[in-house]
Structure 1
């Protein structure tokens, strides 16, 4: 049974989830608007500069399994504190040294921090808000959307104002302070998350079934990987694509800002709609069809249609991630299973999600043609449609 929490403690827990999640994207999404600037100033290839977004995403996958290990060894409180401090310090460091290796190193460590935080927040939501998981996941996703929108839209503004891409990248470290303060307030409630290898059932120890041996968990992993690939490919490459289509850096940043602003509202709205109208397949297909339409509009290169495409693309970008996070929570019966399934899903999913934007960069270096970029992104949505039919609707469990 989840531990009882007062309304005051619940508020601080939920606010801390929001404030922490705000930190989980800016170090990655702030790179997109600066991609061409960094490439030119450091004399890099597209593949090299694309590593700045690929490396943290791949780390988010590889190191996701560290979350339960660190939670057992150091506890939830100290683990989250350490990861937020790591994100803050690494982001600040980007403002002092104009060096590709430093940027890669900070991306690597930030990726590890995000990898650890993600499964812990999902497990905390499952444990403390089992009857409101969709709503709280919506707030979690809303926080990431706010971080994404702010960094995608304002990074170019900071660069235009200061002339320094170093400042434009490092300013997002201030968000770590918000996360640390909110976590301090939440920790007054002495939160802990159970991370056990086994659970007690009717007086006997029962080993939790490994999600790695479960077909449905593999489907979730693939879906999470494809939606991550689509998200990070679009966030990374939309600004360079818009610039190549004749837009200015500020216009390209505004295009990203419109897309991520729509994403913010959908981050919280779609989980709530799915909680009220739980037809998972319908909502997924609606989002995926919207994504395919937006890709086609971007592909035209016609500026008015690209603006419309940015608005429509906010629908899948805002909805697919929270739905993917809900998949293991819907399928599992307790916080231990939810954490295990989420860690597996994010391990494989983020590895997949990190390599696709890098593949786009390699292809673009060889062809100098963004038609291949659009073809790759469109194929991701087609594969997600197929997976949607394989996953099906939410499985309902009988309470014992």
Structure 2
């Protein structure tokens, strides 16, 4: 009974920690135009506040091994969650662009290191329920993103944008208090290699590169939508508050699909089918934003939410479907996610550059449609059976 209670606390702690991994990024989107105007920034400058942390998520994940060796898994996660909380709160104390940019860097670095440490913890303590715990982890990230997207506009209307951004740092307090109660022993990262030696290096495998690009462009679509959907809605005539509600609807649908698509795969197991269905909804949503009236922003947000919620778990499943051993899965996942996040980090900034040049979000929406077209190409390439195991 005591062991079950300890495991229950651990599950809850994983949920609370994962909730902290998105609000500092997704809270920027609803306030993008406000921050840009208040600090006299260009669109490309303000978009760095979402591009920088995502780039760090791809670049600094290998530091998880160093942190675990020096501090241990439990202490590392506690310190890094505290760092996310402190740098998020700092945005309200010193609301300047350099502070926002520095906080974005250290928040992204902390998220990058926490993610593989949490995965190692789940592997060690829940070996027979890995999928369920990854579901808890994914749900927590989606919940944090949804809360930040929906409530940041509300906080802004009450207290202004610095407090609206800083308020999400309070989530870290609850997560740390719960995390420190975790008593179940966990494995060292060195015992569960995050970059295991695969029998065939993914860096030499064409399908691994296809998966990296697929993961990168689905992630690029996600972070670009999170950053620019609210400004697009505002440009069409919506208030900040209503634009935030649009993001909430999109994120809520996304969370529902994060949970439901893996369940639907049990009944209809074709990965390609669900990828194409997801991409079809995304194309419909973007076309509505491009050519329909303002009222159609709501169904467009639902369609895009289905796309983002479907593509993410399907992209995560790809290296698991392709490999038979845990070491191979780790090696492929490390390559795919690191490279993919670096690709996706560049896209909100690129969209900001185009908006600075053309002052029209039709370019942004055309890029969204371009991402969907690229994903469709790689979906068909990945649907082909590999010619040989060592390709």
Question: Measured at CA, do residues 283 and 193 of structure 1 come closer, stay the same or move farther in structure 2, by a change above 3 Å?
Answer: farther
Deviation at 1:208, TM superposition (A): 5.7
**Residues 126 and 329 of structure 1 are in contact (CA less than 8 Å); yes or no, is this contact kept in structure 2?**
no
In the alignment, is residue 25 of structure 1 matched against residue 26 of structure 2?
A: no
For the 8 Å contact 1:198–1:207, the answer to whether it is kept is no
Q: Match for residue 152 of structure 1?
A: 149
Using the TM superposition, give the Cα deviation of residue 127 of structure 1 relative to its aligned residue in structure 2, in angstroms: 4.5
For the residues of structure 2 that align with 1:278 and 1:365, how far apart are their CA atoms? 44
Residue 385 of structure 1 pairs with residue 385 of structure 2: no
SS where residue 43 of structure 1 aligns?
A: coil
Between the aligned partners of 2:385 and 2:312, the Cα distance in structure 1 is 16
Tell me the C-alpha RMSD between the 2 structures. Answer: 2.5
Distance in 2 between residues matched to 1:94 and 1:243, nearest whole Å: 24
Matching of residue 236 in structure 1 with residue 233 in structure 2: no
2:164 pairs with 157, 163, 168, which one? 168
Q: CA deviation at 1:93?
A: 0.6
Q: How many residues of Structure 1 are paired with residues of Structure 2 in the alignment?
A: 384
Choose 114-123 or 238-247, whichever is displaced more. 114-123
Structure 1 residue 141 corresponds to structure 2 residue 138: yes
C-alpha spacing 1:121/1:70, structure 2 compared with 1 (3 Å): same
The residue that corresponds to 2:74 in the other structure is 77
Answer yes or no: is 1:305 the counterpart of 2:296. Answer: yes
The alpha-carbon deviation at position 12 of structure 1 amounts to: 3.0
Partner-residue secondary structure (3-state), 2:276: helix
Deviation at 1:344, TM superposition (A): 1.8
CA shift, 1:287, in A, is 1.1
- C-alpha offsets along residues 331-354 of structure 1, whole Å, 9 cap, x if unaligned? 444554444333222211111111
Return the offset for 1:14. Answer: 2.8
Q: Which residue of the partner structure matches residue 250 of structure 1?
A: 241
- How is 1:21-100 mapped onto 2 (pairs within 5 angstroms)? 21-100=18-97
Tell me whether 95-104 or 310-319 shows the greater mean CA deviation: 310-319
Q: How far apart, CA to CA, are the structure 2 residues paired with 1:111 and 1:142? A: 19
Report deviation, 1:301. Answer: 4.7
Trace 1:192-231 onto structure 2 (pairs within 5 A). Answer: 192-195=187-190, 209-231=200-222
The aligned counterpart of 1:202 is none
Q: Would the alpha carbon gap of residues 226 and 147 (structure 1) be closer, same or farther in structure 2, given more than 3 Å must change?
A: same
- Cα distance change of structure 1 residues 172 and 251 upon mapping to structure 2, 3 Å threshold: same
Q: Give unmatched runs, 5+ long, in structure 1.
A: 200-204, 396-400
Asked if structure 2 preserves the Cα contact closer than 8 Å seen for 1:196 and 1:336, the reply is no
CA distance in 2, matches of 1:344, 1:26: 25
Compared CA separation, residues 77 and 198, structure 1 to 2 (3 A): closer
- Conservation of the 8 A alpha-carbon contact between 1:197 and 1:207: no
* Offset from partner CA, 1:241-273 (integer Å, 9 cap, x none): 111111111111111111111112222222233
Q: Which position in structure 1 is the counterpart of 2:10?
A: 13
Q: TM-score, normalised on structure 1?
A: 0.89
CA distance in 2, matches of 1:129, 1:54: 33
The residue that corresponds to 2:178 in the other structure is 182
CA distance in 2, matches of 1:197, 1:209: 19
Structure 2 gaps of 5+ residues are 387-391
| Greater shift in the superposed pair: 68-77 or 346-355 | 68-77
Q: TM-score, normalised by structure 2?
A: 0.91
Q: Give the ranges of 4+ consecutive aligned residues of structure 1 lying more than 6 Å apart after TM superposition.
A: none
C-alpha contact 1:134 1:326 (8 A) present in aligned 2: no
Q: Helix, strand or coil: the match of 1:138?
A: helix
Instruction: Verify the 8 A CA contact 1:194 1:336 in the aligned structure 2.
Output: no
Alpha-carbon distance in 2 for matches of 1:284, 1:371: 25
Contact 2:120 2:192 in 1 (8 A): no
Pair 179,212 (structure 1): closer, same or farther in 2 beyond 3 Å: farther
Please name the residue that 1:366 is paired with: 357
**In 1, distance between residues paired with 2:376 and 2:127?**
29
Counterpart CA distance in 1 for 2:283 and 2:7 is 39
- Cα–Cα, structure 1 residues 207 and 44, in superposed 2: closer, same or farther, change >3 Å? closer
Q: Distance in 2 between matches of 1:216 and 1:9?
A: 41
